Amino acid sequence: MRVCIATGGTGGHIYPAIALAQKLKEDDPDNRILFLGTKNHMESVLVPQAGFDFLATRGRGLRGNPIQKAMAVFGWWTASRQLKKQLKEFKPQVLIGFGGYASVPAVLALKGQCPVFLHEQNAFPGKANRFLARYAQKVITCYPEAEQYFPKDKVVLLGNPRASIAAALQKKDDALQKKEDAFFKQYQLNPKEKLLFAFMGSQGSESVNEMLVEVFSKPLGAQVLYATGKAHYDLIKSKLPDSKSRKVVDYVDGIKAMANADLILARGGATSAAEIAALGKASVIIPSPYVPDDAQVKNTRYLSEAGAAVMLEEKKLSVQSLWQTLSDLIQDDIKRSTMAAKAKALGKPQACSDIISLLKASISHG
């Protein structure tokens, strides 16, 4: 297959797209994959680092005053016309867009030229996917709540490709008896003790990180692996040095850390939620109040209402309440086990394979 993948803007759009591309290559090394995105953004670095071809397009978000929005729309159409010319040699057989304004020129360029699919990671879809759905053959969702925002005959609930990566890693850890591997040695942690893994996204959260410095200064009844985000690492490390039961790092392979954790403390990003569910892990989630349309709150509510996670609102949070919640869950093995089972029931470990089957079917029927 010759597949174009449009993605960009944030890791929540980019990492699932890369996960799908990796599975495509794993299934068939002859599959040709070309990523489309904007230059000077995360995708222009992360995609080549993952070993995939990347074609930069122009584009900007639909924000600002009416004149700025009009310029953005004009830019999309200009970029789409340019893309049509650039993609003549590649001759894509299918396009899948992962949301964000980086997907807009690609969909506008290839609609009518090949089957177009969209992937929506969040319970509340972004503006780009809501606009582009009219051109899509199918819209792949991760949450049942997203269905109401798209034509019902186009929606297929297949999940997030990162869930497949997480599930595959968990199987590997199970084969190695989970905690008896190099992960614990790498961070000088004890595989026989409980582990709390905490992270607030790739950039961290200044407000929550300040609170966590105090929370993790208190005994919790478990080891703590705390990924601060690179922007906050130096300051937090100076306030919260490593100890026998606490390791502070700027970055960690999130899936590996979650796979080995007994309890997870995280933000409510769509990809993190999909990974937590696929791994079948108990979690405490503090959704970011700064994300448009309360997307993280909606993502987290899906887990919390199913009894798979505890949701804490940042505006109501205190050091004492957060410490108490974490401490209680760490000590309650039965409740964590129940939450983990409910999370697992929501997971979509076959997301990658199911999405690829959908793409293949569209080509064979075309």
Query: Quick check: 352 pLDDT over 90?
Result: yes
Same domain, 196 and 338: yes
Helix, strand, or coil here: 17?
Answer: helix
pLDDT at 173: 54
Helix, strand, or coil here: 294?
Answer: helix
Same domain, 53 and 74: yes
What pTM was computed for the model? 0.85
Mean pLDDT of the chain: 88
Query: Quick check: 59 pLDDT over 70?
Result: no
Same domain, 142 and 168: no
Assign residue 31 the CATH number of its domain: 3.40.50.2000
Which pLDDT tens digit goes with each residue over 61-106? Answer: 555 566 555 555 556 667 677 888 889 899 999 999 998 888 889 9
Query: Quick check: 26 pLDDT over 90?
Result: yes
Which pLDDT tens digit goes with each residue over 104-145? Answer: 899 999 999 999 999 999 999 988 899 999 999 999 999 999
What is the C-alpha separation between 108 and 186, in angstroms, rounded? 47
Q: What is the dihedral of CA 349, 352, 355, 361, to 10 degrees?
A: -120
Same domain, 314 and 238: yes
Same domain, 153 and 263: no
Domain of 326, in residue numbers? 163-346
Name the domain count of the chain.
Answer: 2
Same domain, 221 and 167: yes
Which pLDDT tens digit goes with each residue over 262-300? Answer: 999 999 988 899 999 999 999 999 998 888 778 899 899
Same domain, 342 and 240: yes
Same domain, 93 and 194: no
Same domain, 303 and 359: no
Same domain, 168 and 112: no
**Sheet strand arrangement including 116-120:** 53-57, 32-38, 2-6, 94-97, 116-120, 138-141, 155-157
Same domain, 27 and 86: yes
Same domain, 154 and 178: no
Q: Are 273 and 308 in contact (CB under 8 A)?
A: no
